[in-house]
Amino acid sequence: MQTSFIGVDVSKSELVISVDDLPPLSVVNDVTHITRWLVQLPRDCCIAMESTGRYHLLLAQLALQAGQMVYVLNARDVYFYAKALGARAKSDALDCVVIRRYVQEHFQSLYPWQPGTKEQQQLHALLTRRAQVSAHQAAIKQTLKDTPVPEDHLTQLMQSFKDLIAAMDRQVIDLIAKVEVMQQGCVRLQTITGIGPQTGALLTELLSRLHFANSDALVAYSGLDPRANDSGTKKGRRRLSKRGPALLRRQMYLAAFAASHSKVLKPLYSYIRAKGFSTTESMVILARKLLRVAFAIWKGQETFNPKQLLPNAA
């Protein structure tokens, strides 16, 4: 029996769906309408959608429960695929067709979506929201920097942000403590110089939910891998692929910054800088090294040994 490929463009209130070569159809993005639509499908469908924060999760979970193969695609990949097709317009009806064509051509090299455990889902959502709250706090503080507002009001507002973030951090700790493997892994990860509670929790959620074949796969997922731009004898400038979660890259960069100022790993940072790399390049290189170390420590049972990471020259 031939597999049916389905592309879905997801928004907050609506799903626009392309099934094979049929005209696109619209379904309300709620449990009742999605379930009613899924019942009409044959059992061996490939349903693909872009990652849209949280709006795609309901469809992905219901489709998986219905026994369908689910793929959650990187929106960046679909965007460049559409450009390669020569798309000259953009609409929900066109987007769902592009998504269907993408999964039809690439499904053999894609990994089916897996939701993770209840604790992992809650932890992922909580860490994402914490980062957003922190970003909004910084933005509001910068916006009001030169504004004549009462100082006590601004202080009270910033304290409210701090209290909220502290409460979210306690929730993160409680969630991790519920699963012994996550708890033990998080403790080991925080022995790595530069990785604190927030980065440790982020890596714990990621490494417990997704199973990477090796450290190269983890680096590629993070988007910290350099992208070649060569042609013939020309060696083009390397740039980061930035294909993975921006939050993960940010946290690993901050971890590298902290490590570069520590007594333990400052010699490694100086060694990288001595090779002629800029400050930013050196931070990225150090972030990649820390990410590889995190993968090894998560897989094993040992804690961080800085001597294994330091260059001989140090």
Over residues 145-156, the pLDDT tens digits come to 888 888 888 899
> E strands along 121-186, which residues?
none
- Domain contains 21: yes
Q: Name the residue type at position 242.
A: K
Across 211-234, average pLDDT: 87
What pLDDT was estimated at residue 158?
Answer: 93
| pLDDT of res. 54 | 82
DSSP state of 265: T
Domain boundary among 140, 160, 178: 178
Residue 292 located in a structural domain = yes
- Position 313 scores a pLDDT of 46
Q: Note the pLDDT of residue 312.
A: 67
Question: What share of the chain has pLDDT > 90, as a percent?
Answer: 71
Site of tokens 């110089």: 193
Residues 6+ apart with CB under 8 A from 268: 259, 286, 289, 309, 310, 311, 314
- Summarised one tens digit per residue, pLDDT across range 8-63 is 999 999 999 999 888 999 999 999 999 999 999 988 899 999 987 788 999 999 99
pLDDT score of 235? 78
Same domain membership, residue 95 and residue 37: yes
Instruction: Output the six-digit token pair for 278.
Output: 């800029």
Residue 2 has pLDDT above 70, yes or no: no
Residues with Cβ < 8 Å from 246, sequence gap 6 or more?
A: 223
Number of domains the chain is built from: 3
Residues spanned by the domain of 90 = 4-109
Structure-block tokens of residue 274: 């001595």
Query: Averaged over 107-130, what is the pLDDT?
Result: 90
Would you place residue 314 in the very low, low, confident or very high pLDDT band (cuts 50, 70, 90)? very low
Helices (H), 41-117: 57-65, 75-84, 92-106
Considering the chain, what is the average pLDDT of its residues? 91
pLDDT beyond 60 at 76: yes
Does 86 lie in the same domain as 199? no
> Does residue 297 share a domain with residue 221?
yes
φ, ψ for residue 192, nearest 5 deg = -75, 130
Instruction: Tell me how far apart the alpha carbons of residues 222 and 290 are, in angstroms, rounded to a whole number.
Output: 12
Residue 235 lies in a domain: no
Can you name the residues that pair with 48 across neighbouring β-strands? 7, 71
Residue-wise pLDDT for 247-283, tens only, equals 999 999 999 999 999 999 999 999 999 999 999 999 9
